Amino acid sequence: MEYTTIEQLNKFESKTVELKGWVYNKRGSKGLFFIVLRDGTGLVQCVVNNGEVNEASWEVASSATQESAIIVQGVVNKDERQVGGYELQVTSLELVSIAEEYAISPKSHGVEFLMNHRHLWLRSRRQWAIMRIRNRIIMSIHNFFQESGFIQADAPILTGNAVEGTSTLFEIDYFGDPAYLTQSGQLYGEAMAMAFGKIYTFGPTFRAEKSKTRRHLTEFWMIEPEMAFYDLAMNMDLVEDFLVYLVKDVLADCSVELDVLERDIEALKRVEKPFPRVHYSEAVDLLKSDKTWDMISEEIAALKAEVPVLEAELADNKKRYGQAKKWEKKKIDAREIEINQRQEEIKESLRNLPEWQESARNFEWGSDFGGSDETLLTRHYDRPIIVHRYPAKIKAFYMKRDPEDDRLALGMDVLAPEGYGEIVGGGERATDITFLEDQIAAHNLPIEVFKWYLDLRRFGSVPHSGFGLGLERMVTWICGLSHVRETIPFPRLLGRLHP
């Protein structure tokens, strides 16, 4: 008998194995129980037959509650109908510990409830799939850079100054002096690139802005490569290769996870080189175009047409309800909830879309794109796009100017498709010390704290570039989720510090 994990069951067909895990779900009848076992690597249905196990094992099967810990021995059978494709015919069962009444039942729950039980919610199947994909992406990130001659070099988390002077940071007391939790490893990354050539940082990042949206966390993980002797074009080539590489790995290794999440694989398969490269001015024109206006009008019309259809179904269901059998009533009730939720979604979209439409049309050259603008831009394409050369005044002080148009900075953002928006921000850095000194003054930043940074331009200044990838936003997009909060084990959000 061999102890193994659910993930490895395909190597033990028709053999007897031992599994250790938790009861994910249980159903059964007088002499037969179906226990869905969860061990962290997957799920498997264990069949306990009264006639085939001893009394002690049968007692464990009858008394085990949801999330009770058990050790199961049994024969592995291939069964295509089951989750994971295998089933265990149980020969013996041992109870490790009985679980109290479990809060998260197999039915649906609201966001607040689940967030309050995040420590338990992580055991659920969707969360399992998301965390495994997160893990796969992290591994691929390291592989990509390590294979390409980068070394990982970490930037400090505690800093004495705000990097860009724009964001609101978390302030702490550092032995009597004010200090901040880092909002970016950027400047340190540049120093390390001058030391090692090509580096990447991978660590937590903190933003104290009071953003309450599906794209924001107050604590998130960022990957920031920085490369000496790279210009903007090379930087864009790198980010393109990088993202294609990550998506390919997830598609190759996480088909089960993507399936659990019901992710549209085709959308991910379209993530191929080359990504459209859209000049800021071009993006502004597209945003203000009739094409964008009409696209939204069509969407509004489609949503408006959906309302009477839903209402008709609701009325029809109500009519049938009186005479419906019990199981039909349950179906009607469930459908009613679905319809109500859909109606709320439509209402919200109908509130938002006209505003988006107006704001896109009235967009002024020189402003930064808002969340809705990014969504609208990406809807014109089937894969990520790279928007480059933004107005300098909306970008950080260290951005190099476009030699062909001084109003522009050599920055670039990658916008993910399907409405996911900005996942990468980066660009080519300024090399001229006088320019940087002027910029620091123009941004009202204290020159003293940038003394060390300016040294980088004093001793062998070279063209260099880099970017930052928001891990959680990447995972949200790859998994096709509606909110970043599910992409990190214990999300920190505005108003959320526990558990």
Asked if 113 is part of the footprint of RNA (rule: CB under 7 A), the reply reads yes
CA distance 292 to 353: 12
Nearest to 383 by CA among 425, 420, 330: 420
| Interaction residues for RNA, span 346-365 (CB under 7 A) | 348, 351-352
Q: Out of 3, 15, 54, 65, which residue is the one contacting RNA (CB under 7 A)?
A: 65
Q: Find all residues with CB under 8 Å of 353, minimum gap 6, and list them.
A: 296, 299, 300, 303
Q: Does residue 443 bind RNA (CB under 7 A)? A: no
Q: Which listed residue (61, 72, 74, 87) binds RNA by CB under 7 A?
A: 87
Residue 326 touches RNA, criterion: CB under 7 A? yes
Of the residues 37, 115, 169, 238, which one makes contact with RNA according to CB under 7 A: 115
Q: Which residue has the tokens 């591994």?
A: 139
**Which residues from 253-292 bind RNA, rule CB under 7 A?**
none
Residue from 12, 34, 170, 196 that binds RNA (CB under 7 A)?
34
Residue 436 or 474: the one with the smaller Cβ distance to RNA is: 474
Q: How far apart are CA 151 and CA 415, in angstroms?
A: 26
| Shortest separation between residue 77's beta carbon and RNA, angstroms | 8
Q: Is 72 exposed, middle or buried (0-12, 13-18, 19+ CB in 10 A)?
A: buried
For the bound state, the minimum distance from the C-beta of residue 496 to RNA, rounded and expressed in Å, comes to: 6
Of residues 446 through 475, those in contact with RNA by CB under 7 A are 468-470, 472-473
Please give the structure tokens belonging to residue 136.
Answer: 């796969």
Q: How far, CA to CA in Å, does 58 sit from each of 36, 71, 72, 179, 470?
A: 16, 13, 12, 60, 50
Comparing CB distances to RNA, the nearer of 65 and 135 is: 65
Q: How many residues does the chain have?
A: 499
Residue 296 engages RNA in binding (rule: CB under 7 A): no
Residue 44 bridge partners (DSSP): 37
Candidate residues 40, 106, 156, 160; the one interacting with RNA per rule CB under 7 A: 106
Tokens of 254: 């996480």
- When binding is defined by CB under 7 A, the residue of 142, 215, 288, 380 that contacts RNA is 215
Task: Kindly give the interhelix angle for 290-321 and 326-361, rounded to the nearest 10 degrees.
Answer: 160
Q: Would you count residue 124 as binding RNA (CB under 7 A)?
A: no
By three-state DSSP, how is residue 166 classified? coil
If one asks whether residue 327 binds RNA (CB under 7 A), the answer comes out as: yes
For 81-104, b where at least 16 C-beta lie within 10 A, e where not — what string? ebbbebbbebbbbebeeeeeebee
Binding of RNA at residue 374 (CB under 7 A)? yes
Query: Binder to RNA among 23, 42, 45, 378 (CB under 7 A)?
Result: 45
Cα–Cα distance for residue pair 111/131, rounded to 1 Å: 18
- Beta-strand relationship, 401-402 and 158-159: unpaired
Q: Tell me the closest approach of the beta carbon of residue 176 to RNA, in angstroms.
A: 28
> For the residues of 46-106, what is the DSSP string, one character each?
EEEETTTS-HHHHHHHHHPPTT-EEEEEEEEEE-TTSGGGEEEEEEEEEEEEPPPPPSS-S
- How many residues of this chain bind RNA (CB under 7 A)? 87
**Is residue 82 involved in binding RNA (CB under 7 A)?**
yes
Residue 176 touches RNA, criterion: CB under 7 A: no
Work out whether 167 is an interface residue with RNA (CB under 7 A). Answer: yes
189 binds RNA (CB under 7 A): no
Contacts of RNA in 131-150 (CB under 7 A)? none
Q: Does 211 bind RNA (CB under 7 A)?
A: yes
User: By C-beta, is 3 or 10 nearer to RNA?
Assistant: 10
Is 225 among the residues that bind RNA (CB under 7 A)? no
Range in contact with RNA (rule: CB under 7 A) among 217-225, 254-262, 442-450, 453-461: 217-225
Query: Which of residues 115 and 228 has its CB atom nearest to RNA in the complex?
Result: 115
Task: Give the nearer residue to RNA in terms of CB position, either 182 or 218.
Answer: 218
**Candidates 12-20, 270-278, 420-428, 456-464 — which segment interacts with RNA by CB under 7 A?**
420-428
Per CB under 7 A, does 126 bind RNA? no
Give the residue among 181, 184, 217 at the shortest CA–CA distance from 201.
184
Give min distance, CB of 458 to RNA, in A. Answer: 26
Do 74 and 10 form a contact (C-beta atoms < 8 A)?
no
Question: Does residue 209 bind RNA (CB under 7 A)?
Answer: yes
32 touching RNA, by CB under 7 A = yes
